Chain A
């Protein structure tokens, strides 16, 4: 209705994509747990399959509950639309598979989630897609890594777990000069912290498992298309991206760029990617993520306030040799965080790492003596979490690759939750004392 004109971020987190259900009047978003949707007629069925009409056919391709989540995350990111998928990893795979096949090449940041690094370095290589890794801050390195078959630049907004802030405007410019898009993983930040599309990225994705849902209850992912990259122009210039700018036999000869000037990626990713790879999100999971999204601004403010207090405590503790958060002036991304993030360096996230002085045994003693922090492989929960990356999330990486990603053998990663900050600090204080005794 007209009163909705120009809504703000907090309003969008609650209202984007959702209206009272026209059939029942339900105000909250209903969970549409159905595989399929009845056709009105044979003609309507054919039209839906042929993209002549908008609507739902089968929940692997689209679902009304998922569509609300897709619109909402798009609204928050400033995109043109989104696809919800089974996980953050599915979001990365779908993005890559929509843009290239065997023979493609990716230039990626070294500071990535271990699963992403694994997918790019090992698994995609098996399918003929190669990746060159560069330090996120090595601007000349991004440029030098470009090959004639490069089809994608990829990095994390703040690299996991060193929190190296990606210079999105600069990296995007290099990508665009080379005629390729920039995909950004914004899982650790969320659109409350940073809006990568507005800074020049073309595609952004989240593991919605983390802060978007926020309660450690659901696995899901979402890819948002900024609609900014001109696939047809790039294809005309370089011959790349025939997937998006040339007729596709797999979908009635459709040229996705001709069909939708700004939505070609979304069309192909849904109509081929979800149809053929099938990594769809359950509507129940979509609903859980929507529940989390509705309190995103409130939760993130609290996450960041707690993080600030914990960072200050750790930075002044004698047993801590390093705290890797851009809040600290000593962090290499301190200035860039202030420049790019919506809430300055405070907005660099509540997942960060620090190093304990001493042996691996002391590191283990620290983790084992925490009471409130849970030792597990996740981040972005309302509960505070802790993990030792070298032995868990990044265990497949060599010491050299670990070092490249800013991770040491004694690095501890924390995900600061929504508990009382004083209780978190007391917990850390107690565990550090135990680590000291374990020397």
Chain B
């Protein structure tokens, strides 16, 4: 569905079900150079199990209009604007990688609006190497190849998104190329990396969160290895929050590479 926020429309995949104000809502927020379809299996499952699903394309990405967010704070503003536009008072937020930082910041800015905070493949700080930052701008195809290689842990995943017969390396690369091409006005690859790299409020933001927090981490993740999430895990525990840390046998692309254990963790956390 397309939702008007400010001066542009924001696209949100709803899992094949219409939005129902009487149901709880979960917002899925993708990472750099991705869009809604990276959540295809998890989002469709929740949509058919009593939840409103809003798997968004961030502004300036895929089917959404507007400019790509230059910072985590700008991206969070779009999420809150989406909730406002649909009259959603409170939602579960689940974010992957860059999207996890957006979910965290949104929960910190508006603690009353967030019922659950799911951080998938997260890290703080989420530094991006200078070489990758540069390549994302000067040679995006090389950077896509690098990210793709670092984001997957196996040449033989179990039935993965889209299902049996999917070659994840190829699917991920094709999606990244498509998202990059979706916005000829700006390089959303580089913009996203800069936003990740410059986000400095992780611990302070976690101190503002008031809802249960879940970390789903890939134990073979080379982009955001589990140890890189420990600062946020400690901060969440220090705040007295209910904290679940689930480790999945997967690389950074947990939702596509290990969709079943990722879904199982989310179901346990959200009670679906």
Q: Which residues of A contact B (CB under 8 A)?
A: 1-2, 4-7, 12, 15-19, 47, 50-56, 62-64, 66-68, 70-71, 74-75, 78-84, 226-228, 230, 252-254, 258-263, 266-267, 270
Contact = CB atoms under 8 A, between A and B. Distances in A.
Please give me the 8 A-B residue pairs with the lowest Cβ-Cβ distance, nearest first.
A227-B174, A70-B165, A74-B167, A19-B156, A54-B159, A62-B164, A67-B164, A52-B45
Given A2-B153, A75-B169, A80 B174 contact: yes
B160 interface: yes
A263 B166 contact: yes
Contacts of A55: 159, 163-164, 260
Among A15, A52, A74, A228, residue most surrounded by chain B Cβ atoms (within 10 Å): A52
A1 B220 contact: yes
Interface of A is mostly: loop
Interface stretch (B35-43, B101-109, B118-126): B35-43
A270 B163 contact: yes
Contacts, number: 148
Among B13, B37, B62, B260, residue most surrounded by chain A Cβ atoms (within 10 Å): B37
B167 A260 contact: no
B163 A78 contact: no
Nearest to A17: B156
Interface string B150-166: 10011110111111111
Contacts of B16: 252-254, 259
A384 B256 CA distance: 44
Contact of B44 (A17, A51, A226): A51
A107 B174 CA distance: 26
A79 B169 CA distance: 9
Contacts of B160: 54
14 contacts: A5-B150, A52-B48, A53-B260, A55-B159, A74-B166, A80-B170, A84-B165, A227-B178, A230-B178, A254-B16, A259-B44, A261-B37, A261-B175, A267-B162
Nearest to A56: B164
A266 B145 CA distance: 23
B222 A81 contact: no
Nearest to A266: B162
Interface string B36-65: 110011001100100000000000001000
Interface residues of B, number: 40
A262 B167 contact: no
Nearest to B159: A54
B192 interface: no
A262 B171 contact: yes
A6 B178 CA distance: 21
B259 interface: yes
A81 B48 contact: no
Contacts of A266: 162, 165-166
B164 A261 contact: no
A84 B48 CA distance: 30
Nearest to A82: B165
A157 B175 CA distance: 26
Among B163, B222, B260, residue most surrounded by chain A Cβ atoms (within 10 Å): B163
Contacts of A15: 155-156
Contacts of B159: 54-56, 62, 67
A81 B167 contact: yes
Given A1-B154, A4-B155, A75-B155, A262 B178 contact: yes
A260 B156 contact: no
A4 B154 contact: yes
A387 B225 CA distance: 59
Contacts of B263: 53
Given A1-B220, A2-B222, A54-B161, A263 B171 contact: yes
A53 B170 contact: no
